[in-house]
Amino acid sequence: MDNREVLVDIKNLRTFFYTEDGVVPAVDGIDLTIHQGEVVGLVGESGCGKSVTALSIMRLIPDPPGKIVGGEIFFHGEDLLKKSNEEMRLIRGDKISMIFQEPMTSLNPVYTIGDQISEAITLHQKINAVEAKKRTIEMLHLVGIPEPERRYSQYPHEMSGGMRQRVMIAMALSCNPDLLISDEATTALDVTIQAQILDLMRGLQKKLGMAILIITHNLAVVAEMADTINIAYAGKIVESATAREIFKSPRHPYTYGLLQSIPKFTEKRTSEPLPAIEGMVPSPYHMPKGCSFNPRCPFATEKCREEEPELVELAPGHMVRCFHPIES
């Protein structure tokens, strides 16, 4: 795995929002590596900074109030944060593309889906309209949309949620990106439709070989899809390892607690209460001192309340941000 070329390397990314109520450190120390052709999961609860990380990679942070205040994002060895807006515009949708949770708001309701995909293609590739249409229909076919010629001239509202998400994927992949970012792309879908879309994404990844960054709150989704998994909490990566490692021997108390607390679908019913994580996610306005997980952590000590732990490599490829990691 590691002898594959590094595609994205995020180092200590910090993205803050300067609101009228104060500063929100939405991303405050995210480190993330994506190799070429790798599927990487970024998992966390609301407010952990996972979506802001994605928008930071795309350089789509609304400014004001948002600002990337520190860190580097290397893509093919070049720092995206040093690129001009014009250079970024050429990268977006071409080399890096993104799909979102709600495909309806990402599609313009007054244009046909065919027009919208063709536009995305002609924006980045020097081809004429006829070729663009041909390529669009090819893409629609690729993402499993039946009768792509007819669907080409349909409007977004004529399609179901699952179909719209397929359209979004077709548009995102139309320029053969090196990286596809999927931000909760299956969260709004029903289970059977989610299974369709995940199946499609897996198939396309094998076929086209792009890297995928899957951003989700659903541990089961990344368990099925990702090679490596990064767990984010309160704007920081707290644990990062291969999927197998994360689920087999989680070392950070948060990861461990999270895995323990979700009901197991495959196990017989018990009347035992679930081992829940106490307390709640800290407000970004009132971050606790020291380790941000310490108020909820059963193993927290005086040190955790005072000092901020660093991300350290406990085993090859297994990074943990904790003073008292759980023994494997």
Structure-token pair, residue 67: 């600002």
Please state, in angstroms and rounded to a whole number, the distance separating the CA atoms of residues 75 and 8: 5
Least distance to other proteins from the beta carbon of 36, Å? 21
Q: Which stretch binds other proteins (CB under 8 A): 96-104, 128-136, 175-183, 214-222?
A: 214-222
Please state, in angstroms and rounded to a whole number, the distance separating the CA atoms of residues 205 and 104: 24
Please state, in angstroms and rounded to a whole number, the distance separating the CA atoms of residues 221 and 217: 9
How many angstroms from the chain centroid is the CA of residue 210? 14
CB atoms within 10 A of CB 128: 9
- Interstrand relation of 22-35 and 78-79 (parallel, antiparallel or unpaired): unpaired
Least distance to other proteins from the beta carbon of 123, Å? 30
Please state, in angstroms and rounded to a whole number, the distance separating the CA atoms of residues 111 and 126: 22
Q: CB of 197 within 8 A of CB of 160? A: no
Q: CB of 209 within 8 A of CB of 182? A: no
Please state, in angstroms and rounded to a whole number, the distance separating the CA atoms of residues 57 and 61: 9
Least distance to other proteins from the beta carbon of 280, Å? 5
Task: List the one residue from 2, 5, 86, 278 that touches other proteins (CB under 8 A).
Answer: 278
Structure-token pair, residue 112: 């046909």
> Could you give the angle at the alpha carbon of 114 between the alpha carbons of 193 and 213, nearest 5°?
50
Number of residues that bind other proteins (CB under 8 A): 60
202 near other proteins, judged by CB under 8 A = no
Question: Of the candidates 214, 202, 181, 191, which has an alpha carbon nearest to the alpha carbon of residue 43?
Answer: 214
Q: Pattern of binders to other proteins over 145-164, x per CB under 8 A?
A: ---------------x-xx-
Complex with other proteins: residue 31 or 131, whichever CB lies closer: 31
311 near other proteins, judged by CB under 8 A = no
Within 93-122, the residues that bind other proteins by CB under 8 A are none
Complex with other proteins: residue 20 or 302, whichever CB lies closer: 20
223 near other proteins, judged by CB under 8 A = yes
Please state, in angstroms and rounded to a whole number, the distance separating the CA atoms of residues 328 and 318: 11
Complex with other proteins: residue 247 or 299, whichever CB lies closer: 247
Beta bridge partners of 320: 239, 312
Within 32-91, the residues that bind other proteins by CB under 8 A are 45-46, 65, 69-70
Task: List the one residue from 82, 266, 316, 327 that touches other proteins (CB under 8 A).
Answer: 266
Least distance to other proteins from the beta carbon of 8, Å? 21
Task: Check the CA dihedral 115-120-123-128 and report its sign.
Answer: negative
Q: Which stretch binds other proteins (CB under 8 A): 21-29, 111-119, 172-180, 298-306?
A: 21-29
Q: Which stretch binds other proteins (CB under 8 A): 99-107, 175-183, 207-215, 239-247?
A: 239-247
Task: List the one residue from 78, 199, 306, 310 that touches other proteins (CB under 8 A).
Answer: 199
Summarize as ranges the residues that interact with other proteins (CB under 8 A): 14, 16, 18, 20-23, 25, 45-46, 65, 69-70, 160, 162-163, 190-196, 198-199, 217-221, 223-224, 243-244, 247-248, 257-259, 261-266, 268-269, 271, 273-278, 280-281, 283, 285-286, 296
